[in-house]
Amino acid sequence: MTYLSSLGLLAGIYLAVLASPGPNFFILSQMALDGRSAEARWVVLGLSTGSLVWVLLSVAGLATLLSQHPLLATAVRVLGALYLVWYGARLLRSALTASASAAGAAASDPGGEPAAAHATRAAAYRTGLLTALTNPKAAAFWTSAFAAVFPADAPAWFFGATIALVAALSLGWHLGITLVFGVPALRNAYLRLARTINGVTGGLLVLLGLQRLVMR
């Protein structure tokens, strides 16, 4: 297999991972539907930064490190699972509030305080970064499938091309989510169903986190 073929294979696998619903999708789509597209774009930057951190760690040999230290691998998995349970619980709590607007605000701010008081660029970026770094789906991908496909004897240009590819795909996909779900018609429908959507989303995230906690 040529290096260009390997690059195409990496792109295809990464796109498949991006396309499967997970924490990134749930958070971005909800923020966009809630009319917080500007804040969501900073979350996108955080998510893309997290993807770059993962790819840099992977090409530096993280997969080998985790395979040689099972306790470290378990710690990465457990931390990611706990974050999902925590964030999902926040959404579930917001779904029980008295109004849809309160639910949307609480969901947009995982800290539980009014979103207007904490909707800063730094906070949004930090949310995206932490979500990407603690996403168990990402951890599993970068330390398994990615490491298996990445050529062991790859030249220097291949490392740079892979990093640039991951950055472009991550930015493009996640920005696309904010644009699609920022459509006014979708947003208006969301406002009528905000509490239900928050409850379902929170439940899915909690279940995903619990699954990751008990998996071996």
Residue-by-residue pLDDT tens, the chain, 216 positions: 577 888 887 888 777 677 766 788 888 887 887 778 888 899 999 999 998 988 888 777 755 665 677 777 677 667 767 766 876 787 788 777 744 444 444 444 444 444 443 457 888 898 899 888 887 667 667 766 566 667 766 787 888 888 899 899 999 989 988 888 888 777 667 667 767 867 876 787 688 678 767 765
**Residue 93 is part of which domain span?**
49-214
Tell me if 24 is assigned to some domain. Answer: no
Confirm whether 39 is domain-assigned: no
Contact by Cβ (8 Å): 17, 33: no
Q: Is 40 part of any domain?
A: no
Burial class (CB in 10 A: 0-12, 13-18, 19+), 53: middle
Q: At what angle do helices 23-33 and 70-95 cross, to 10 degrees?
A: 30
Q: How many domains does the chain have?
A: 1
Q: Which residues does 148 contact at the CB level (< 8 Å), separation at least 6?
A: none
Question: Does residue 90 lie in a domain region?
Answer: yes
Residue 144: predicted pLDDT: 61
Report angle CA 131, 74, 51 to the nearest 5 degrees.
30
- Whether 174 maps to a domain, the answer reads yes
